[in-house]
Structure 1
Amino acid sequence: MNLLQRIEHWGDMHHPRWMDIVRIALGIFLCIRGLQFPANMSDMMADVNANLPMPSFALVVLGHYIFLAHLMGGILLILGAYTRIACLIQIPILLGALFFVNSGQELFRPFPAWFVQVLVLGLLVYFLVAGDGPWSMKEPDRRTGA
């Protein structure tokens, strides 16, 4: 049994049911952020371009990737289908937001954006390890085909 299989087995054995409610709430939050993102895409492009100059086409591709990843990843998290893949797709977005977009903003204002991003990043890492849980659409088992 390799390391990934052991992590998956541990996550399946140590997943409380109440964490499924947190997973569903995280999925809803990411869907809402994905739906709000097109209205704020120009602000994100300006922030990213100020910290990390990129060609305009790359910024447009990045913006569309973030929109689709939040929307589809949120739906997958709500359903509990392919949870680890959905989390893996979301993590680079949040790391980029932490390091490039919100790095210069005031840290101690009420409910700072970086606190929410760190919380969401922590939950995504947890669900990357723990998996989908008992209240989910189960992924097909590759070994048995069921």
Structure 2
Amino acid sequence: MNNVKSLNKWANSHTYLPVDLLRMALGVFLFMKGVYFVSNVQYLVDLLSPIDKFDKFGGGMFLVHYIAPAHMIGGILIFFGLLTRWAIIAQLPILICAIIINFMGHMHQQNLLLAVVTLGICIFFAIYGSGKNSADYYFKMEK
């Protein structure tokens, strides 16, 4: 717990507007990706097709119903800076699997690049936190 408090103190003393805009852009990107997956479920099923070879218990349908809502809800939370670290922790398995799936099936270079960049930004914000211009900071200062 002390590590999180020390990270928050460091992040709040080193907060810059471009970093907050990057966090907000990440939230919008994840939300739009979730909306895209909801509107094009077959595309998501096609992306997850390499897993079907190893899927014996119907986990593919679970993934389809986990990925889109996790992106949408996580994107909203990340945009507002509310429970940012928790929202990003929910995104990490999705992004890691997105990278792995590109090596298991047909290589989509654009999807691989997006997943790697998004994973890097998510890892940064998992360490950095939501920053000073966020709902987390606002609610913390309300006390």
**Could you say whether these structures have the same fold, taking a TM-score greater than 0.5 normalized by the shorter chain as the test?**
yes
Q: Does 1:54 align with 2:55?
A: yes
Distance in 2, matches of 1:126 and 1:45, equals: 26
Shift of residue 48 of structure 1? 2.0
- CA deviations 1:123-143 (Å, max 9, x no partner) are 1111111111222212644xx
Structure 1 unaligned regions, length at least 5: none
Q: Which amino acid aligns with 1:30?
A: L
Q: Are the aligned partners of 1:15 and 1:130 in contact in 2 as well (CA < 8 Å)?
A: no
Distance in 2, matches of 1:122 and 1:24, equals: 15
Shift of residue 27 of structure 1? 0.7
Shift of residue 71 of structure 1? 0.3
| Aligned position for 1:127 | 125
Distance in 2, matches of 1:88 and 1:9, equals: 20
Q: Are the aligned partners of 1:8 and 1:129 in contact in 2 as well (CA < 8 Å)?
A: no
Shift of residue 56 of structure 1? 5.4
Q: Which amino acid aligns with 2:20?
A: D
SS in 2 for 1:102: helix
Distance in 1, matches of 2:11 and 2:123, equals: 12
Identity over aligned residues, as a percent? 30
| Aligned position for 1:65 | 66
Structure 2 unaligned regions, length at least 5: none
Residues 3, 138 of structure 1: alpha-carbon distance in 2 compared, 3 angstrom cutoff: closer
| Aligned position for 1:114 | 112
Shift of residue 17 of structure 1? 1.6
The equivalences for 1:88-107 within 5 A come to 88-99=89-100, 101-103=101-103, 104-106=105-107
The equivalences for 1:78-93 within 5 A come to 78-93=79-94
Q: Are the aligned partners of 1:37 and 1:67 in contact in 2 as well (CA < 8 Å)?
A: yes
| Aligned position for 1:11 | 11
Give the one of 22, 31, 41 matched to 2:44.
41
TM-score, normalization: structure 2? 0.84
Residues 116, 11 of structure 1: alpha-carbon distance in 2 compared, 3 angstrom cutoff: same
Q: Which amino acid aligns with 1:62?
A: L
